[in-house]
Amino acid sequence: MIYNAISVSELNRYIKEKFEEDEYFSSVLVEGEISNCKHHYTGHIYFTLKDENSLIKGIMFKTYTSHLDFDLQDGMKVMVLGSVSVFERDGTYQLYAKAMKQLGKVGDLRAAFEELKAKLEKEGLFDNNHKKPIPMMPKTIGVLTSNTGAVIRDIINVSTRRNPNVHIRLLPVPVQGEGAAQKIADGIKLMNEKNLADVLIVARGGGSLEDLWPFNEEVVARAIYNSEIPVISAVGHETDFTISDFVADLRAPTPSAAAELAVQNISILQETIFSYQNRFKQSLVKKLQFMRLQYEKCMASRAYAKPLQQIQEKYIIIDKNVKSLEYSISKKFQNEKSKAQNVFLKLDALSPLKTLARGYGIVSVDNKIIKSVKQLKADDNISVRMQDGAIKAKVI
């Protein structure tokens, strides 16, 4: 028997044509919750529409997004008008939205969320300088969540696997519904008053915006802000953000991640310590080897082998230099003294007093020395200076 095979493209095209032939798929009205919402830079919006049991991928092109009267976000419940067709390239069917209407109170909750977020941010509740560091090795982890469900089991499993000695202290609180926010806030306050933990994890699993709403209440936000014990917020899935996440000292994408952030992995710490110990030992051995080589080098040196002899030899050299210096100074002094005496003798020989001692006199008129008779005339009063005094005279 011979079969005529068709290509994948032909198969997908055939299925797409079947969708297009069915008038029901050309205009459907479907309700669901938005998730994985992505606003593309082209203006298109990609999203997933889901309910409790199923989901369908969807897209709204830029032509229709401009008609939306609200900002499409994850968690919103909406009614979508559009068509269902096959995306031929990927072989997947999806919802092509032409119009969308927001349902229920999700819109009001989203507006309340943004309003409270802006208020608390303005008051400084989100400031980084207020956030406390998470202790590196906490002994007790306080957990505020439901005492049933996967959240507390995940936290216990991850924490005890990373550090078997850590103590988990659970304070059961409702994590959704009326009154849950106040009980969560009271639990945080009690943990602080009784000093029951070194770090707190406020956690719950994923859910819709309404399910997560207690963690968007102001009373919970202020309880986290006023907590002296550092708080890790682990609410919902990685894409979910609550007011608690912004106020907390640290935000974890999931409860399991919160346990990893709060509890150090003991095995990794031990390996790190062992590594430091080995590096220290190796450094110490190298230091000792270096010092031993230096010691042996010193012992091989003549200066270290006979230190006193070296000192004595230096003393002899210094003494010799001192005596040489003293001799040079003495000789220099004698030479300078002899030169000075010769100068004194020359000065003494040229002194006028020596001339007077040989019987000569010095004639002066008005304190001017007379060297020639032509400088005098009759009746001039003169002064004659001799060895033992001076006389006054008159020229005749």
Map residue 78 onto helix, strand or coil: strand
**261 to 199, 252, 257: CA distances (angstroms):** 11, 8, 6
| Last residue in a domain, options 244, 264, 284 | 264
| The pLDDT value given to residue 236 | 81
User: Tell me, what DSSP letter sits at residue 176?
Assistant: S
Lowest mean pLDDT among 32-41, 182-191, 223-232: 32-41
Of 217, 225, 220, which is closest to residue 248 (Cα–Cα)?
Answer: 225
Based on its alpha-carbon atoms, the radius of gyration of the chain, rounded to whole angstroms, reads 54
Structural domains of the chain, count:
5
Sign of dihedral through CA atoms 313, 314, 320, 323?
negative
What is the Cα–Cα distance from 73 to 38, expressed in whole angstroms?
9
pLDDT class of 303 with cuts at 50, 70, 90? low
Half-sphere exposure of 382 (CA within 13 A, CB side): 20
Q: Same structural domain for residues 288 and 183?
A: no
| The pLDDT value given to residue 321 | 85
**Other CB atoms within 10 A of residue 191 CB:** 23
pLDDT class of 205 with cuts at 50, 70, 90? confident
Q: Same structural domain for residues 20 and 145?
A: no
What is the Cα–Cα distance from 91 to 223, expressed in whole angstroms?
51
Q: Is the pLDDT of residue 240 over 80?
A: no
The tokens for 44 are: 């298109």
Asked whether residue 340 is domain-assigned, the answer is yes
Q: Same structural domain for residues 188 and 62?
A: no
Q: Same structural domain for residues 254 and 271?
A: no
Contacts of 178 (CB under 8 A, 6+ apart): none
What is the Cα–Cα distance from 107 to 113, expressed in whole angstroms?
10
Q: Same structural domain for residues 281 and 310?
A: no
List pLDDT tens digits, range 277-296: 888 888 888 888 888 888 77
Q: Same structural domain for residues 151 and 76?
A: no
Asked whether residue 2 is domain-assigned, the answer is no
| Beta strand spans in 130-184 (E) | 140-145, 167-172
Asked whether residue 47 is domain-assigned, the answer is yes
Q: Same structural domain for residues 206 and 70?
A: no
What is the Cα–Cα distance from 83 to 94, expressed in whole angstroms?
8
Q: Is the pLDDT of residue 305 over 60?
A: no
List pLDDT tens digits, range 1-33: 566 788 898 888 888 888 888 888 888 999 998
- What is the share, in percent, of the chain residues with pLDDT greater than 70? 94
Asked whether residue 42 is domain-assigned, the answer is yes
Asked whether residue 1 is domain-assigned, the answer is no
What CATH number is attached to the domain comprising 46? Answer: 2.40.50.140
What CATH number is attached to the domain comprising 152? Answer: 3.40.50.10550
Contacts of 5 (CB under 8 A, 6+ apart): none
Of 204, 202, 200, 201, which is closest to residue 236 (Cα–Cα)?
Answer: 204
Asked whether residue 3 is domain-assigned, the answer is no
User: What order of strands is seen across the sheet that includes strand 250-251?
Assistant: 167-172, 140-145, 199-204, 231-235, 250-251
What is the Cα–Cα distance from 120 to 226, expressed in whole angstroms?
13
Q: Same structural domain for residues 78 and 198?
A: no
Of 74, 72, 78, 83, which is closest to residue 44 (Cα–Cα)?
Answer: 72
| The pLDDT value given to residue 191 | 95
Q: Same structural domain for residues 115 and 25?
A: no
Average pLDDT, the chain: 86
Asked whether residue 88 is domain-assigned, the answer is yes
Q: Same structural domain for residues 13 and 57?
A: yes
Q: Same structural domain for residues 125 and 244?
A: yes
Show the domain range for 333: 304-346
What is the Cα–Cα distance from 48 to 266, expressed in whole angstroms?
41
List pLDDT tens digits, range 89-120: 888 899 999 999 888 656 667 778 888 999 99
List pLDDT tens digits, range 324-380: 888 888 888 888 888 878 877 777 777 677 777 777 888 888 888 888 888 888 888
**175 to 45, 74, 149, 257, 387: CA distances (angstroms):** 32, 20, 11, 18, 134
Q: Same structural domain for residues 125 and 206?
A: yes
CB 211 within 8 A of CB 176: yes
| The pLDDT value given to residue 143 | 95
Asked whether residue 185 is domain-assigned, the answer is yes
